[in-house]
Structure 1
Amino acid sequence: MSEFDYDLFVIGGGSGGVRAARISSTHGAKVAIAEEYRMGGTCVIRGCVPKKMLVYGAHFAEDLHEADRYGWDISGAEFNWTRLRDIIQDDVSRLEGLYAGTLGNADVEIYKERAVLTGPNEIKLASGKVITAKYILIATGGWPANAGCPGEEHALTSNEIFHLEEKPKSIIIVGGGYIANEFAGIFHAFGSDVTVANRSEKILRPYDQEIVGKLQEMGEAKGIKYRLSAPLTKIDKNDDGTVTVHFDDGGEPQTADVVMVATGRVPNSANMGLAEIGVELDKSGAVVVGDDNKSSIDSVYAVGDVTNRVQLTPVAIREGHAFADSVFGGNPRTISYENIPSAVFSAPPIASVGLTEDAARAQHGDDIKVYKSDFRPMKNVLSGREERGLYKMITQGPEEIVIGLHMIGPESSEILQGAAIAIVGKMPKQVFDDVVAIHPSMAEELVLFK
C-alpha cells in the first residue's frame, strides 16, 4: 500500500494540468485533479477558443460587405451580439464536458473545488478534506492583470468581455499586446467605435515591427483609433453607465460604453500556500522551475502559465506531457522554447516564428538577408479591398538558413504552421525555392521570394 492517497495530485484543470493528469494515469499512476471553476482552463473557457469563435463571427462583417462583388445579393443582414455570445457559451460548455469526460475515461478522480498546499505532500480542499500525494503539480494558469489605477473596478478584462449584456457602441481597449489587438478587430467588425490605448509608443512589441506597422496602418484605415504613449491614470463611472478614462499623455479624458484592460496576464498563484511551504516564487508570483518542471520543493512541480515561461496553450500541453513522461513514464525529457510559432488573430492576422529582423541584426549583424513579398491577395483585388499582405523571410549565413518568418494577411496562422517546420529543422532557403508553388494561393509567396 502507498503511504499517499495519490501518486499525483494536479491543481488546475486547464490544458496543461489535464494533459499531465491523463498521461500520468496511462503510465499507471493514481491521479486526482482539482479545479475550482470550470474544467478546460483559460483557453477553453475564457481565452483562445471563445475568442477565435468571435473572430470567425467578425469575418462576416467584411465578407457580407463585399459579397455583391462575388455575385451575392444580401440585404437586411444584421449582427446579433447576444445570439453569438450565447451560442459560443453553449459550445464552451460542450468542450468543458469533453475535458471532464477525457479525465473520467482515464480514471482520473476530479474534485470540483479549490485546493491549497499545506505541506510538500499535502493538499487541503475547500470542503476541509485533507489529501496526500507523492507528487503535486501546480497548473493554475494565469489571470488578467488589473488596471492598477483608481477606478480599476470599472474596467472589464478578458474574463468578463465574453459575457457582455449588449454590444458596446464604443469601447476603449487598454493595452498593446495580442489580446488588445484581437479584440480591437473583433469589436470594430461588430460595429463598435474602438480605441486602442497603450502606455508605450509601440504595440505588439515581440513581433516584427514592420509587420506590426502594417497592422496599425490597416487598422487606422478601417477606423480603429490608436492612442499611444498614453499611460492609464484613472477610470470614472458616469451616472449613465458609461466610463471616462484618463490618460497621462496631455490629451483630454475619453468616454466610452466600456473600457477593457488587456495589459498582460500574471501567474495565478496567490493564496495557494506555495510560499508558506517553501516553494520559490519570482517577483511576478510565478513558480520558479527548472527544465524538468520541478520547483524548489522536490515533490512539487509546475507547468503552464503559472511558471510565466511562455504563455501559450500548446506549450502548457507539451510541458504537462513531458512532466508525465519524465516522472511516471520512465522517459525523462524536456521541451524546447526556441522557435515557437505564434499568431495574433487580429484583422488581418499576424503569424510569426523565429527571429524578427531587429533581433536577427542584433545577433548576426550583416550576416543576414531579408526577403519580402508585399502583395494584394486575389480575393481583395476582386472585392475592391485595398489591404495588402506582407511576408518576410530572414536568412543567415552563406547557406541562407531560414531563421525567421513573419506574415500579415488572410489565414496567416494557417499558412505559417507548416512553414514553421523549416525553421525548427534549420533548413536553407533553397528548400523553399525547390518547392513548386500552389497557384493561385497566398501561400505560394513563401516559395517565390527573390
Structure 2
Amino acid sequence: MAEYDYDLFVIGGGSGGVRAARMAAQTGARVALAEESRLGGTCVIRGCVPKKLMVFASQGAAQISDAQAFGWEARAGDFDWARFHPRLREELDRLEGVYRKLLDGSEVEIFDSRAVIADPHTVRLDDDGTVSAKHILVAVGGYPVRPEIENADLGLVSDDMFLLEELPKSLLIVGGGYIACEFACIMRNLGVEVTIYARGAQILKGFDDEARGLLSEAMKQCGIDVHTGTTLTEMCRAEDAPSGPRPTGSDATMGAPAGDDEAAATDAPGPDPKATGPIWTQASNGVEKVFDHVLFATGRRASTDGMGLEEAGVTLQRNGSIVVDAYSQTNVPSIYAIGDVTDRVPLTPVAIREGMAFVDTVFKGEPTPVDHALIPSAVFTQPELGTVGMTEDEAAEQGPIEVYATSFRPMNKAFIDSHSRVLMKLVVCAETRRVLGCHIVAPDAGELIQMIGVAIKMGATKEDFDRTCAVHPTISEEMMTMRAPARTT
C-alpha cells in the first residue's frame, strides 16, 4: 500500500474547504490545506460577510427617516465611508484569524501558498516543493469576470467594491443578477447615484417573475435608474471620450455581454479600486454618460486555470468548472471537488454541506450524496427577496398548480404613509396539495425563508400552513391566512 504525506490535501481555504479539512482531521486523518490568498475565501473576505455588513450600514438613512415619521427628533448626515471602511477591514482580519485558529485547533497543517495538481496524488506548492496525498479535495471557488468589451479593464468587479477608499458619486452597474441588484441597493442607500444596465427584459433572471417585478419597482422608487434590455457598448476614460457622431441602437452592439449574469469572460486585470474615474460610457440605446465607476456584475468563472487538473486527467466543463458525481468525486478517483468550482449551486452553505458529505463518504465510510433540492436562499436587496423551491412558471410546467399570493403595505409602513409593499407567495401542487415553492419580498425575508424552508423540505401541504396558528400582528402571518388561490394554472 502506497504511503502518502497526507490522507487528505485540500486546495482552497474558503468555507467549504476549511469545513472539510476540519471534519476530516477529527476522524484521525492527516490533513493539510493550501490557500494562496486569505483564509475564509470568497464568502468571508470578498463576498457574503462584507456585503452584508455594507447592507447593515446602508440601512441607516431609511431607519432614521422612519424614526422621524414615528415622531423621533432625528437627523441623518452624510455617510462617512472613511469611518466604516477601516472597521470593515478589521472585522475581515478578525474572521480570517478565527478560520486559522479553527484549522490549527484541528491539527490541520496550513500552507499559505498556491497549490497545483502535479498528478492524481501529488500537489505542487509555490514555496514548499511537492507533497503527496491519498485524496485531494479541490475547493478553490470562482472569481468574477468582465465582459469582452474594449477597455473593460477600467471597470470594477465585486471583489473591488470592498477595497474602495472612498465612495463614488455615481456608479454604473452592468448586469441584472443578484450581485448587481444587491450592490445597487447598498450604494444607492449610501448616497451614490446608481444606474443599472441589464441585458434581460427584467432583473433577477431565474427568480419568480412576480417577486422580481415588485423588487424592480422598489428599486426604482428608491432612486435606482434601472434600464432593462440594455447593454454597455463602449467605455473609456472621460478624457479619451470620442467626439462627433457615434453609432447608436442596433449599430452599437460591440462587446455586449452574453446574459444578465453570464458573459464572455476576460481575465484582464482591473483598475486600482482606490483610483477614481471618470469613465465615459455608451449604451445600446445610444445614451452617453460619464460615471465615477463602472461595476461589472456579469458572472463568475471557476478558478481552475493553471491548476493542472486537465493534465491530471480531470474532466472540466467548457466554462472551466469541474465535473463531479453525486459524491463530489471527479473521474479521477483520488480527486474530489466541492463548492463553486463545480458549478452546482454556488452558495456558501451548499459548499459546507458538500464538504461534510465528502468527509462522511471518504473518511467515515458512510456514502452520502449531496442533496441539492429545495435550498432556501436570499437576495439581500432592500427589501430582501427570500425564495425556496420552484417559481410559478417552473411549477406550472410540471402540472396543475394553485398560486396563493398577497401584496400589501406592512403595518409600520402604512402608519407613516410609505408606499413600500411586501409580497407573500405560495406555489401549490393542485393534486398533492404540497407546497412547491415560496417567495417573499419583505424586510428580513432571508430570516423568514429559512424557517419556511424547513416546512417545505419536510413536504408541508397548503393545509399544513392553514392549520398553523398565525402570529399577530406580523408580516409573516399572511403566509398562514391566504385561503383562496389568486389563480390556478
Aligned AA (1:335): V
Match of 1:246 in 2: 282
Match of 1:428 in 2: 461
Q: CA 1:222–1:83 in 2, change beyond 3 Å: closer, same or farther?
A: same
Aligned AA (2:277): G
Match of 1:183 in 2: 183
Per-residue Cα deviation, 1:241-291 (whole angstroms, up to 9, x for no partner): 3012223x2322221101000111111111111111111110000011001
Distance 1:302 1:154 in 2: 33
CA contact (8 A) 2:33 2:111 kept: yes
List runs of 5+ in structure 1 lacking aligned partners. none
Q: What SS does structure 2 have at the residue aligned with 1:51?
A: helix
CA contact (8 A) 1:394 1:403 kept: yes
Match of 2:199 in 1: 199
CA contact (8 A) 1:8 1:136 kept: yes
- The answer to whether residue 114 in structure 2 is matched with residue 114 in structure 1 is yes
When normalised by structure 2's length, the TM-score is 0.89
Match of 2:370 in 1: 335
- The answer to whether residue 336 in structure 2 is matched with residue 301 in structure 1 is yes
Aligned AA (1:411): D
Structure 1 range deviating more: 264-273 or 39-48 = 264-273
Match of 1:288 in 2: 323
Alpha-carbon shift at residue 384 of structure 1 (Å): 2.5
- The answer to whether residue 385 in structure 2 is matched with residue 347 in structure 1 is no
Q: CA 1:122–1:385 in 2, change beyond 3 Å: closer, same or farther?
A: same
Distance 1:71 1:202 in 2: 38
Match of 1:316 in 2: 351
Q: Quote the RMSD (CA, aligned, Å).
A: 1.3
- The answer to whether residue 473 in structure 2 is matched with residue 437 in structure 1 is no
Count of residues in Structure 1 that have an aligned counterpart in Structure 2: 447
Distance 2:23 2:154 in 1: 42
Alpha-carbon shift at residue 17 of structure 1 (Å): 0.4
CA contact (8 A) 1:402 1:422 kept: no
CA contact (8 A) 1:287 1:302 kept: yes
Q: What SS does structure 2 have at the residue aligned with 1:44?
A: helix
Structure 1 range deviating more: 77-86 or 335-344 = 77-86
Distance 1:76 1:355 in 2: 41
Q: What SS does structure 1 have at the residue aligned with 2:83?
A: helix
Distance 1:49 1:202 in 2: 27
When normalised by structure 1's length, the TM-score is 0.97
- The answer to whether residue 240 in structure 2 is matched with residue 237 in structure 1 is no
Q: CA 1:77–1:282 in 2, change beyond 3 Å: closer, same or farther?
A: same
Match of 2:37 in 1: 37
- The answer to whether residue 360 in structure 2 is matched with residue 325 in structure 1 is yes
Alpha-carbon shift at residue 172 of structure 1 (Å): 0.4
Match of 2:402 in 1: 369
CA contact (8 A) 1:377 1:442 kept: yes
Per-residue Cα deviation, 1:45-73 (whole angstroms, up to 9, x for no partner): 00001000000111112111221122321
Distance 1:200 1:189 in 2: 24
Distance 1:22 1:339 in 2: 27
Structure 1 range deviating more: 332-341 or 130-139 = 332-341
Structure 1 range deviating more: 125-134 or 233-242 = 233-242
Match of 2:211 in 1: 211
Match of 1:384 in 2: 417
- The answer to whether residue 93 in structure 2 is matched with residue 93 in structure 1 is yes
- Which of 411, 414, 419 is residue 447 of structure 2 equivalent to? 414
CA contact (8 A) 2:61 2:76 kept: no
Match of 1:261 in 2: 296
Distance 1:241 1:417 in 2: 40
CA contact (8 A) 1:147 1:155 kept: no
CA contact (8 A) 1:28 1:328 kept: no
Alpha-carbon shift at residue 84 of structure 1 (Å): 1.3
Aligned AA (1:4): Y
Match of 1:127 in 2: 127
Structure 1 range deviating more: 13-22 or 423-432 = 423-432
Distance 1:81 1:50 in 2: 14
CA contact (8 A) 2:277 2:291 kept: no
Match of 2:150 in 1: 150
Q: Percent identity?
A: 43
List runs of 5+ in structure 2 lacking aligned partners. 240-275, 484-489
Per-residue Cα deviation, 1:78-99 (whole angstroms, up to 9, x for no partner): 3111211211111111111101
Distance 2:2 2:25 in 1: 16
